Amino acid sequence: MNADSQTKVVLITGGAKRVGASITRELHRQGASIMLHYHTSETEAIALQAELNQIRPNSAAITQCNLLETDCIPALVAATLQTFGRLDALVNNASSYYPTELGSIQLEQWEDLMGSNLKAPLFLSQAAADALQASGGCIVNITDMHIERPKKHYIVYSAAKAGLVSLTKSLAQELAPKVRVNAVAPGPVLWPDNNQEFDEQYRQQVINQTLLKRTGEPSDIAKAVKFLIYDAPFVTGHVLAVDGGRHLSI
């Protein structure tokens, strides 16, 4: 581990559980100090903060914000700077995910899915821009393998994630040359909680459509994020697919 990796400060949204927690642990293991954002997962956030601080004291802090209410977004960056003195990387991971069938889409669903997957990353990136310019830092957005081939009945989610890809490339242009902006497009690594659509038959179908004939692990996504933050100094505006090749076969 080099000295630079030991001093990085990372703000990650939705970092308390599932893939977000895996990203948080991976970056902390690399030596980063973590500002962990959560919305409703307070119990998980407190537990993960304690876990990380037991490993390395004062290396993790938590902050709460409903990202749909953009007024609280600048406070996430301010809390990070106040706690750790700098910001080296922003990981826009928080995301709502559920189906919206055409003919029954509600405005609240549109605002939730667009807000969490597109609006929040934009305004958080904007709020963090000055701090990232000062540190020569980077942004990593978490998109989805369905950005090129939308998932049926997930019209709003698919549109939001496709927009996040465009945002990634636009931010790469806007924030160059000091700030790099990239994205990771995960494939099947964790099945959604409490979603009956993803029964055993469907899961096997997904695996059969994946070139590597298996699902991935949350650690696969976490390691991709780590790579883009630590080991890709000449990469910007890129979307890294981590899906076992499924984007080539669906």
The count of other CB atoms within 10 Å of the CB of residue 151 is: 15
3-state secondary structure the chain: CCHHHHHCEEEECCCCCHHHHHHHHHHHHHCCEEEEEECCCHHHHHHHHHHHHHHCCCCEEEEECCCCCHHHHHHHHHHHHHHHCCCCEEEECCCCCCCECCCCCCHHHHHHHHHHHHHHHHHHHHHHHHHHHHHCCEEEEECCHHHCCCCCCEHHHHHHHHHHHHHHHHHHHHHCCCCEEEEEEECCCCCCCCCCCCCHHHHHHHHHCCCCCCCCCHHHHHHHHHHHHHCCCCCCCCEEEECCCHHHCC
Q: Which tens digit of pLDDT belongs to each residue from 105-159?
A: 999 999 999 999 999 999 999 999 999 999 999 999 999 988 888 888 999 999 9
Q: Which tens digit of pLDDT belongs to each residue from 153-205?
A: 999 999 999 999 999 999 999 999 999 999 999 987 776 665 556 667 777 88
Q: Which tens digit of pLDDT belongs to each residue from 52-90?
A: 999 999 999 999 999 999 999 999 999 999 999 999 999
Q: What confidence score (pLDDT) does residue 12 get? A: 99
Domains (range + CATH), the chain: 3-248 (3.40.50.720)
Q: What confidence score (pLDDT) does residue 92 get? A: 99
| 112 CB-side CA count, 13 A | 10
Query: What is the mean predicted confidence (pLDDT) over 14-27?
Result: 97
| pLDDT-derived band at 102, boundaries 50, 70, 90 | very high
- Non-local (6+) Cβ contacts of 152 within 8 A are none
Q: Which tens digit of pLDDT belongs to each residue from 238-249?
A: 999 998 888 777
* Cβ contact 60:34 at 8 Å: yes
Q: pTM above the 0.75 mark?
A: yes
Q: What confidence score (pLDDT) does residue 143 get? A: 96
Q: What are phi and psi of 236, to 5 degrees?
A: -150, 150
| pLDDT-derived band at 2, boundaries 50, 70, 90 | very low
Residues above pLDDT 90, as percent of the chain: 79
Instruction: Give the catalytic positions in this structure.
Output: 157
Query: What is the mean predicted confidence (pLDDT) over 207-230?
Result: 91
Q: What confidence score (pLDDT) does residue 246 get? A: 80
